[in-house]
Amino acid sequence: MDTLTRRTALKGAAAATLAPTLAAPALAQPAPRPAQRPLFGAVSWKLANGLTVVLAENRRAPVAAHYLYVSAGAGEDPAGKSGVAHFLEHMMFKGSPHIPSGAFSRTVAREGGQDNAFTSRDVTAYFQIVEASRLPLMMRMEADRLAAPLIPEAETESERNVVLEERSQRTDAVPRGRFREAFDAAMWGPQHWRGRPLIGWESEIRAITRQDLVDFHATHYAAANCTLVVAGDVREADLRRWAEEFYGPVPTRPRRARDRAAPPAAAPEARLVTRDPAVREASFLQAFAAPSATWGDTSKSDPLEVMAHVLGGGPGSRLHRALVEAGHAVSAGAGYDGDVVGVGGLFVAVTPRPGVSQARIEEIVAATVTELVQSGATEAETRRAIRQQTAGALLALDGLGAAPRMLGGALAIGLPIEAVEQWPARMEAVTQAQVNEAARAVLAQPKVATAAWLLPA
């Protein structure tokens, strides 16, 4: 299963590559820009049991994508039981009242479709992509396991071994996986929800019981805590009827409020150096706590997207010019993790060229960040960053999976549907002053920040 896939981000699309192909003919009437219309034109409603239903029609092919989002992920794992959300995702394929263990995926495959699931820090999601006429079957099966998964005791231990093997392959056997896990624990603390691994610490995975999984399902898998997103060749009247028929009977239970701990007063470890015999080249990672779309000064979320692009959003960004174009690094960039529940993060990553010292890399990064804080982004940099990011919105309109991932990911963390539909318009409204204010707020005197090196042994 693609269990640790992160949210699909419209914002990361490579806009620069679009310009030549999307230029309008000289005499043609220009098409409306993405900012002038909703991205997907989705409609949404709620069932009596609280389930949110979203439809993004796309009739270009007779295909439907069916995504069920649960507003609970690794961030909701109980203390001392990291990995419960992810473990339960595995066990959701072990049968429900009308679907034997393993039959769910076999049925999807027999119908010529694809299915999978993923767990992030904020959500757990289950999805199928099938020929449109098979959508009611998918809805019937998904509603069955949402209401009452079997979570059989006889299969819990064998699936625990699958999870442990997944952890071994993705983290324990991968130097950068081990490094990133240690980095998060150093910055946030090993038991903070941002410091724990999504898949869980090995010792805690071994301690998870079937009752832990049952309790997590009972607490978080209420219909009112779920969002169903369907995209493709589906009519609203049909989806309303099927949603009532299949998901309407799911029992009504109270929605559990999110309880995310605030960030620590300071990073437990402000500096981390890891040497690994399997590493061939050095890499530098630095992170700063930041407001997000749901935490802190949420008005800074969009300006921080732009600021991160100015700082390290590919060729033309400040870090790229100072490090890559100047010959000090192979790669350098920055990113902002703001579409999350709770505190967000701003990240800087650099891969130095051989022979360039760690001190020199850190000196250049610090000088670049300081210059941005003190002098600010220019108007030209701000508009360029916004133009490149919003142009990527055009890419999102093509793929069938983009709408359910973006809409479901936003709604499942408590954002309104407009957060996706009007994202390009919001970005175009960001000002140079807002970008510079956001840079000062996060980078001037960071309280929670960690710098780390992964080095060859």
pLDDT at 195 over 80: yes
Q: How confident is the model at residue 15, as a pLDDT?
A: 32
Q: How confident is the model at residue 396, as a pLDDT?
A: 66
Instruction: Kindly state the DSSP code that residue 382 receives in the 8-state scheme.
Output: H
How many residues are present in the chain?
Answer: 457
- Same topology, domains 33-247 and 271-456? Answer is yes
Give the fold, CATH level 3, of 271-456: Cytochrome Bc1 Complex; Chain A, domain 1 (3.30.830)
Joined together, the tokens standing for residue 259 give: 């309880």
Contact indicator for 25, 400 with CB cutoff of 8 Å: no
d(CA 213, CA 360): 49
Which tens digit of pLDDT belongs to each residue from 408-420?
999 999 999 999 9
pLDDT at 12 over 80: no
- Residue 173: C-alpha distances to residues 279, 328, 452 (Å): 12, 29, 20
Mean pLDDT of 134-157: 98
Contact indicator for 338, 304 with CB cutoff of 8 Å: yes
Q: How confident is the model at residue 325, as a pLDDT?
A: 98
Which tens digit of pLDDT belongs to each residue from 79-130?
999 999 999 999 999 999 999 999 999 999 999 999 999 999 999 999 999 9
Phi and psi (nearest 5°) for 19? -50, -50
Q: How confident is the model at residue 37, as a pLDDT?
A: 82
Which tens digit of pLDDT belongs to each residue from 337-388?
999 999 999 999 999 999 999 999 999 999 999 999 999 999 999 999 999 9
Q: How close are the terminal C-alpha atoms of the chain, in Å? A: 33
pLDDT at 73 over 80: yes
Contact indicator for 376, 303 with CB cutoff of 8 Å: no
Joined together, the tokens standing for residue 65 give: 């994508």
Joined together, the tokens standing for residue 172 give: 């324990």
pLDDT at 21 over 70: no
Instruction: Kindly state the DSSP code that residue 128 receives in the 8-state scheme.
Output: E
Residue 125 parent element (H or E)? strand 124-131
Contact indicator for 194, 121 with CB cutoff of 8 Å: yes
Q: Beta-carbon neighbour count of residue 98 at 10 Å?
A: 12
Which tens digit of pLDDT belongs to each residue from 221-248?
999 999 999 999 999 999 999 999 999 9
Domain ranges of the chain: 33-247, 271-456
Sign of the CA dihedral 2, 3, 6, 9? Answer: positive
d(CA 70, CA 338): 19
Please give the CATH number for the structural domain made up of 33-247.
3.30.830.10
- Residue 272: C-alpha distances to residues 28, 267, 269, 286, 450 (Å): 56, 11, 7, 10, 8
Joined together, the tokens standing for residue 402 give: 């983009």
d(CA 4, CA 118): 6
Phi and psi (nearest 5°) for 71? -80, 60
